[in-house]
Amino acid sequence: MKPSGIGGQAVMEGVMMRNGDKYAVAIRKPDKEITVDIQNVGGVGSDSKWKKIPVLRGVISFWESLTMGMRTLTYSASFYEEEEEKSKFEQGLDKATNGHADSVVNGLTMLLSFVLAIGIFVVLPMIIANAIMSHFDVNQSLIALLEGILRIIIFILYIVAISAMKDIHRLFMYHGAEHKTINCIENGEELTVENVRRQSREHRRCGTSFLLFVMVVSVLLFMLIRVESIPLRLVLRILLIPVIAGISYEFIRFAGRSESVVALVLSRPGMWLQRLTTREPDDSMIEVAIASVDAVFDWKKFLNDAEIEEARIQIEKASGASKKPAAKRAAGKVAEGKAKEVKKSDKIEKSNKTNKANKVNKANKEVKSEISSAKAETSEKTKQENKPAEEPFVPMEIDISQFFDIKLPDEPAPKKKKVKAKKEEMPVSDAPEEVKPKAQDEIMMAFDSFFEYNGTKSVHEVSDENPDSYAEYEDTVKREALEREAEEASNTEEEV
């Protein structure tokens, strides 16, 4: 299958993947959550015209790899830094740089790393080679060859030494996850943890292979450039680093794109060396690598296009279409038909995803509605519980005697004309029959007049609501009415 064109780099507890002018850094945070940051590459490399020039594009890519690698490593390390108060030096540096102390520190760190790399892999091999060859009468080409061999040995020993560190060991595991993920895509398999786990952790476009190419090319180049002065020779070694990087880039680009025997032979030493710089990752690391690829690369489209192209090639081979235009056109139609099928399946998949999303949204709305109803019911219940209890209705007892000029003396009032002995109170039930109707009429009229005057209920309604009070008042009024009737009858008899 054709190369995917994506490349990557392992960072602290994560993976960086680059596709074109965009790159993504996926990090497994301390809380086990995966965070993904997507950025544009920018810089000189963003202009495509410079990347079309051989060797120069290698120099640009080399510089981009250095700066981007340092930037992404710093970003990944920021998730695992312990928060500490800044020292006086850091505070002063921050003030002097107007808040850009971190950028200055990163730049100084990168410069120091570059100086150490020059010292370990350029100066040290050259000094050792000259010290050994000074005892023999040999030419500069042999010294350059010995220098290159020593450089490769030092590089391998350096990798073995740092791989014993725990953090570097995990870094190499993420490096293996990066390679396995890219191999999974380029082998035509979907990006799943199971598929990625089966892949090889070696890749022909790896940076480790690039560094080995740099060392081999430097040996060949320094054997051709002969300088007697050691200081001048050192200066040339440093100045030619970009040129060596550009040439090495062309070699690894060829090895990564070609399936020829030459490309396989050139790639093999670098892939052997990758056994030191990669380790088998666990599933959590593979998940991080997949998340980084998903952020910048449409691997599903890549697999569909590759499948269509492969079908076209197979049809052409089977029908000899390379020499027969009609057969070639037929193969193209078959491939186009397969492409339509793939697009149709993609549409169905998108439609299913849309329907699923609509169902989820509908379910969410129903849940929200139920929650709102429950909240309203709870609020109403709370209001009812907090509402003060109403006092039960108690009928008001009215003392109507204050509205009538009725006196109930213990003894009857004295008579003006003739004093008579007080008669015993006559119960209402014992009154003469001719008196009862009149007395009852007076009682009812008195009650009705009172209740009508005060805008209250009639005597009948009051009697129904409070029969005991009404009976008491009724006896009082009847008794007084009977007394007046008896008195009037007595006065009439006397006059007669």
Q: Tell me the C-alpha distance between 78 and 170, whole Å.
A: 17
**pLDDT of 321 over the 60 cut:** no
With respect to residue 345, please indicate whether it lies within any of the assigned structural domains: no
Give the range among 358-367, 372-381, 460-469, 481-490 with minimum mean pLDDT. Answer: 460-469
CA atoms within 13 A on the CB side of 257: 8
Query: What is each CA distance from 382 to 6, 57, 377, 378, 438, in whole angstroms?
Result: 61, 73, 9, 6, 62
According to the model, what pLDDT value does residue 454 have? 47
Mean pLDDT of 375-383: 68
With respect to residue 151, please indicate whether it lies within any of the assigned structural domains: yes
Which pLDDT band holds residue 423 (cuts at 50, 70, 90)? very low
Q: Tell me the C-alpha distance between 163 and 177, whole Å.
A: 16
For the ranges 204-208, 371-375, 477-481, the maximum mean pLDDT occurs at: 204-208
User: What type of residue is 11?
Assistant: V
**pLDDT of 372 over the 80 cut:** no
- Are 212 and 270 contacting, i.e. CB atoms less than 8 angstroms apart? yes
With respect to residue 303, please indicate whether it lies within any of the assigned structural domains: no
With respect to residue 406, please indicate whether it lies within any of the assigned structural domains: no
With respect to residue 281, please indicate whether it lies within any of the assigned structural domains: yes
Q: Tell me the C-alpha distance between 459 and 372, whole Å.
A: 54
For the ranges 13-27, 65-79, 404-418, 459-473, the maximum mean pLDDT occurs at: 13-27
Q: Tell me the C-alpha distance between 319 and 153, whole Å.
A: 53
According to the model, what pLDDT value does residue 422 have? 44
Domain boundary among 247, 279, 297: 297
Residue 162's SS3 state is helix
According to the model, what pLDDT value does residue 133 have? 84
Higher pLDDT, 120 or 337: 120
Question: What does the longest C-alpha to C-alpha distance in the chain come to?
Answer: 185
For residue 21 the two structure tokens come to: 């002018």
Residue-wise pLDDT for 272-285, tens only, equals 999 999 999 999 99
Which pLDDT band holds residue 28 (cuts at 50, 70, 90)? very high
With respect to residue 408, please indicate whether it lies within any of the assigned structural domains: no
Mean pLDDT of 39-66: 79
Same domain, residue pair 117 and 246? yes
Query: What is each CA distance from 442 to 94, 274, 446, 457, 477, in whole angstroms?
Result: 109, 126, 6, 18, 9
Nearest to 134 by CA among 228, 242, 240: 228
Mean pLDDT of 178-206: 93
Q: What are phi and psi of 467, to 5 degrees?
A: -65, -30
DSSP annotation of 322 reads T
How many other CB atoms are there within 10 angstroms of residue 190's CB atom?
Answer: 12
Range of the domain at 440: 416-495
With respect to residue 332, please indicate whether it lies within any of the assigned structural domains: no
Domain boundary among 258, 281, 297: 297
Mean pLDDT of the chain: 77
Neighbouring-strand partners of residue 25: 16, 37
Residue 38's SS3 state is strand
Residue-wise pLDDT for 128-157, tens only, equals 998 888 888 778 888 889 999 999 999 999
Give the range among 14-28, 216-230, 387-401 with minimum mean pLDDT. Answer: 387-401
Same domain, residue pair 255 and 110? yes
According to the model, what pLDDT value does residue 45 have? 52
**pLDDT of 73 over the 70 cut:** yes
Nearest to 408 by CA among 331, 472, 490: 472
Domain boundary among 297, 328, 353: 297
Higher pLDDT, 86 or 327: 86
- Give the H/E segment covering residue 8: strand 7-11
- Are 145 and 230 contacting, i.e. CB atoms less than 8 angstroms apart? no
With respect to residue 64, please indicate whether it lies within any of the assigned structural domains: yes
Same domain, residue pair 120 and 256? yes
Which pLDDT band holds residue 490 (cuts at 50, 70, 90)? confident
Q: Tell me the C-alpha distance between 54 and 66, whole Å.
A: 19
Same domain, residue pair 170 and 35? yes
Return the ∠ at Cα 294 (arms to 198 and 190), rounded to 5°: 35
How many domains, in total, are found in the chain?
2
User: What type of residue is 393?
Assistant: F
The region that residue 361 occupies, defined by phi over 0 for left and psi between -120 and 50 for alpha, beta otherwise, is alpha
Mean pLDDT of 241-247: 92
The region that residue 42 occupies, defined by phi over 0 for left and psi between -120 and 50 for alpha, beta otherwise, is left
